[in-house]
Amino acid sequence: MCLAIPGKILEASTTENDATALVEVAGVRRRVDLGLLEDRPRPGDWVLIHVGFAMSKISEQDAIDQMRTLAMLGEAEAAMTEVRGYGSGDETSAEPPQGSK
């Protein structure tokens, strides 16, 4: 199944030649390519991501609805697996690892 996953832009590149942004998806942070978007998103904006590319800008409410729909379909874990699977290995977690204090 092809998944489009909502992510919140945390940092966007400030150079004209670098169309990437750091996004957060359910606590996982990854760098994604913004090259397919006409209007470059800013920190705080939401985008739909597929295989490491931002496909479109969306509202926060649409992002919430999309994650809720993925959960209802039982696809939330598959979405997170996809998020962890793309990028250049620079992912970070916004939450401490389980079992840490």
Domain harbouring 25, CATH code:
2.30.30.140
> Is the residue at 38 inside a domain?
yes
pTM: 0.72
Contact 48, 10 (CB under 8 A): no
Q: How many domains does the chain have?
A: 1
> Is the residue at 96 inside a domain?
no
Instruction: Inform me whether the pLDDT recorded for 70 exceeds 60.
Output: yes
Q: Which domain holds residue 21?
A: 5-89
pLDDT for position 67: 84
pLDDT tens string 76-95: 676 676 666 665 445 444 44
Measured between alpha carbons, how far is residue 55 from residues 45, 51, 62, 74, 101 in Å?
A: 13, 10, 14, 22, 37
